[in-house]
A = this chain, B = another copy of it.
Amino acid sequence: MIRYDDKLPTSIIERDSEYKPPRTLRSWLIGRPLSTADAPHQTIGKLVGLAVFASDALSSTAYATQEILGVIAFAGTMAYGYLFPISMAIVTLLAIVTISYEQTIHAYPGGGGAYIVARDNLGELPAQTAGAALLTDYILTVSVSVSSGVAQIVSAYPAMFPYRVWIAVAAVIFIMLINLRGVKESGTAFAIPTYFFVIVMTFTVGMGLIRYFTGNLGMVINPPHFEASGVISTITPFILLHAFANGTTALTGVEAISNGITAFKEPRSRNAGITLIWMSLILGSLFLGLSFITGHIHAVFSEQETVISQLARTIYGGRGIPYLMLISGTTVILIMAANTAFADFPRLGALHAGDGFLPRQLTYRGSRLVYSRGIITLAIIASLLIIIFQASVTRLIPLYAIGVFLSFTLSQAGMARRWWKIGHLKEGEEIVEPGSTLRYEKGWKYRMVINGFGALCTAVVMVVFAVTKFAEGAWVVLILTPILVMIFFSIHHHYKGVASKLSLDNFRAVPPHNLRHRVIMLVSGVHQGTLAALRYSRRLSDDITAVHVSIEPAESEKVRRKWETWGEGVRMVVLNSPYRLLLEPLLEYITDLAKQRQPGETMTIVVPEFVSNNRITATLHMNTADYLRSQLKRYPGIVIIDVPYHVHA
C-alpha cells in the first residue's frame, strides 16, 4: 500500500533537449560545441600538461639571469662571482616551493591553488587576498610576457617598432581564441613550441658546459656597451637581496599546476605532482646552467642585446642557424607564457564567483567547456594594460611577481596550518572541508616545517621585492590588491543580501491570497491588436481600466470614438499630455494608483505591443513598449503583461 504522504505531490518530468548548435563562424573559430558529457575527455596527460602549465615558469629562464645581473653589474667583474651563488639560493628556494606545492597537490586533488588552501585553512580574508594577488598577477603575466616576446621580434626587425602595441594585442587575441577552443586543443597547440624551447635551450646549455669544461668557451666577443650610471662600489647585503629578489622572477608560474589539477587525467594528483617536479627540475637546471655560463663568459647587462643572445653567439661562435633557433624559440615561449595565465585565470575566477566574490557569470562554462567569460575578461584587461603601457616590459615588470609571492606565502602558511590541524586529530577522526579531507598522518610535523619554512622564505622575498621595487611601480600593486579585496567582499555582501532576502528558509508556508486584482491596459490606438489585449485583460480581472495618453487631440478623438464601439464597456481614462510626452504622464498616473492600492491588491499593466517580423519595417513603428516596460519594472508589486500582435506586412 502506498500512503498518500509517501508520494510527493509534484511531478517532475525530465526531458533532454535535442537542440544541436548550428555551425557558425564562431564554431569555425573556436571549434564545435562540446556537450557537458564530454568533459572527462577534455583532460590532459603529463606531457601535454607540462606544455600547458610550464611555459610560464620555463620562459622566465629567458630573463631571470639578466635581471640578477642588472642589479650587481655596476660592480664590474666582481659581480660575476656573485651570480652563481645568488642563482643557487634561488634554486634552493625553488626546491622548497616545489616540495611545498607537491604536498599541496596531494592534499587538494580538486585543485589546490593558494585561494582554496587559504580559504579552507586561514579564512576568507587571506583567501580573497591570495586570489586578488593571483588574478592581478595572471593579468600581468599576459601583458609582460606578450610584450617581452614582441620586444624580441622588434629587436630583430626594428621596422616593426611602431606596430608593437598592435602586434601584442593581436597575439593576446590569438591566444584567447586558442583558449576558447578548450584546454585540450590549446595543450596540443602549445606542446610543440614548449618542447622545442626546452630541447634547444638544454642543448645550448649543454654545449656551453662542454665547451667550458673542455676549455674552449672564451669570452663574449664584441659585448654590447654597458651603461653604468654610478661608480663602481662595493656590494652591500641590501644589493645582494635586491639581486636575489630580481632573480626570483624565475619562480613565477610554479603555482600554475596546483591551480589546474582538475585539467589532468586521473590519477590527477599523481600526474600533476610528477609534472610539477619535472617542471622544477627543468627550470632549475636550465637556470643554474645559464647563470654559470653567463658568469664565465662575462656577458654584459644591456638594453641592446639580451644576455641569452650574447650567450648563444658565444657558445655557437656567431649568429648561425642554432643561434636563430634559440632566439626564435625564446620569443615564442615568452608569448606562450601568457597561455598559462589563460589556463588558470578563468578557473580561479570561477572559483571566486562560485563562492560569490566575483560576478556569477564567470562560473558559466561556454560551448567548449571552458570558462569563456573569464578568458575574454583576461584578454580584454591584458590588452588594455598593453595599450596603456605601450607594450613596454620595463614599465610593466615592477608590477609583476609581488602577487605571486604573496600567494605563495598565504598558500604555504595555509598548508602549515593544515598540518597542525592534522597533527591534532585523533586516529580515525576526519574533518571534511570543501576542498579536501583531513586525516591524521604521521609525518605531520616534518611536513608542517617544510611548508612553514617555505612560507617564511617567500614572505621575506615578497617584502624584499616590495621594498626594493616600491618606487618603480610596486606601489600600484600594494594599493590595487586591497582595493580588489574590498570589491570582492562587497560583491559577496550583495549576493549574501539578495540570497537571504529571497530565501525560503524562514518563509511562511502559504501567504494570504491577493484579494483584488486591478488591470491597467494601455491603449495607443484601437485596432485588432488592442482588442486581443482587451480580451486577455478581461480574463484576468473585472477591474480593468484602459488608459490612453492624448498627445494629438485629433488622434485621441478617434480613439475615444472607436473605444465607445469596441471597448466592451471597459472604462477608459484619457490622460491629456500638454507637453506631448507619452511616458511621464503614464508613470505619474500609475504611481498615483499604486499609492492608493489596498493591502493584498495586485496591479497588472497590460502593454499591447506591435511586433514586426521584419527588422527594417520595425523601425517604422514607435516601439515604445520596451522602454515603457523597463520603466514600469521599477515599481514594486506591479506585473507587466506583454500582448504582442503580429502583422506580416
Contacts and interface: CB of A to CB of B under 8 A. Distances in A.
A579 interface: yes
A486 to B, nearest CB: 14
Interface string A609-621: 1110100010111
Contacts of A629: 642
Interface string A437-456: 00000000000000000000
Nearest to A614: B494
Contacts of A622: 360-361
A567 interface: yes
Interface string A262-304: 0000000000000000000000000000000000000000000
B19 A588 contact: yes
A619 B21 CA distance: 27
A13 interface: yes
A595 to B, nearest CB: 14
Interface stretch (A33-41, A106-114, A213-221): A33-41
Given A359-B619, A501-B528, A502-B527, 5 more contacts: A12-B573, A17-B584, A499-B527, A501-B649, A514-B539
A641 B638 contact: no
A497 B621 CA distance: 13
Contact of A633 (B539, B617, B642): B642
Contacts of A529: 502
Interface stretch (A3-11, A400-408, A466-474): A3-11
A611 B622 CA distance: 25
Contact of A528 (B18, B504, B578, B648): B504
A575 B502 contact: no
A241 interface: no
Interface string A481-505: 0000000000100110111011110
Contacts of A563: 10, 12
B540 A528 contact: no
Contacts of A597: none
A566 B510 CA distance: 9
Given A12-B564, A497-B649, A19 B360 contact: no
10 contacts: A10-B570, A10-B571, A12-B560, A17-B589, A19-B585, A497-B649, A517-B539, A536-B639, A540-B540, A639-B641
A647 to B, nearest CB: 5
Contacts of A9: 569
A535 interface: yes
Contacts of A527: 499, 502-504
A574 B36 contact: no
A364 B580 contact: yes
- Specify which of A511, A580, A588, A645 lies most central, judged by the most chain B CB atoms within 10 Å of its CB: A580
A531 B502 CA distance: 10
A646 interface: yes
Contacts of A636: 644, 646
A96 interface: no
A306 interface: no
Contacts of A19: 577, 579, 581, 584-585, 588
A556 to B, nearest CB: 9
Contacts of A562: 504
Interface residues of A, number: 105
Contact of A11 (B17, B572, B638): B572
Contact of A647 (B16, B361, B502, B528): B502
Please classify the interface of chain A as helix (H, G, I), strand (E, B), loop, or mixed, using the class held by over half of its residues: mixed
Contact of A10 (B569, B577, B602, B611): B569
- Specify which of A495, A610, A620 lies most central, judged by the most chain B CB atoms within 10 Å of its CB: A620
A408 B8 CA distance: 82
Contact of A585 (B13, B17, B511, B514): B17
A642 B645 contact: no
A476 to B, nearest CB: 23
Contact of A17 (B13, B497, B565, B576): B576
A648 to B, nearest CB: 8
B584 A611 contact: no
Given A16-B578, A501-B647, A611 B634 contact: yes
Contact of A571 (B13, B560, B568): B13
A578 B17 contact: yes
A159 to B, nearest CB: 28
B531 A504 contact: yes
Interface in A25-46: 33-37
A535 B367 CA distance: 35
A21 B641 CA distance: 28
B15 A575 contact: yes
B12 A572 contact: yes
A604 to B, nearest CB: 8
A576 B644 contact: no
A513 interface: yes
A366 B10 contact: no
B564 A8 contact: yes
A313 interface: no
Interface string A234-268: 00000000000000000000000000000000000
A636 B613 CA distance: 10
